[in-house]
Amino acid sequence: MTTKIQILGTGCPKCKQLAENAEQAARDAGIDYEIEKITDINEIMTFGVMMTPGIAIDGVVKSSGKLLKPDDIKALLQ
């Protein structure tokens, strides 16, 4: 099953770094994954995220307002 990782952010440097960290974490975890970047502020708000960057895994918000390290994201993926 493919894990869907959604990066919630408008494209700021932290959002881009979070996307890179998520990709590294998924590769390190050895899982089948797909990364989707959601940049539309209205769509981000439908997740209930008020501070970016945010990350959702399979549609569930796991973090918002902080830049997670790859190891932190890997723990969320397990």
Structure tokens at 46: 């439908």
> Is position 12 annotated as part of the catalytic site?
yes
* Residue from 4, 10, 12, 34 carrying the catalytic annotation: 12
* Residue from 7, 8, 15, 77 carrying the catalytic annotation: 15
The DSSP code sequence of the chain is -PEEEEEESSS-HHHHHHHHHHHHHHHHHT--EEEEEE--HHHHHHTT--SSSEEEETTEEEEESS---HHHHHHHH-
Active site residue ranges: 12, 15
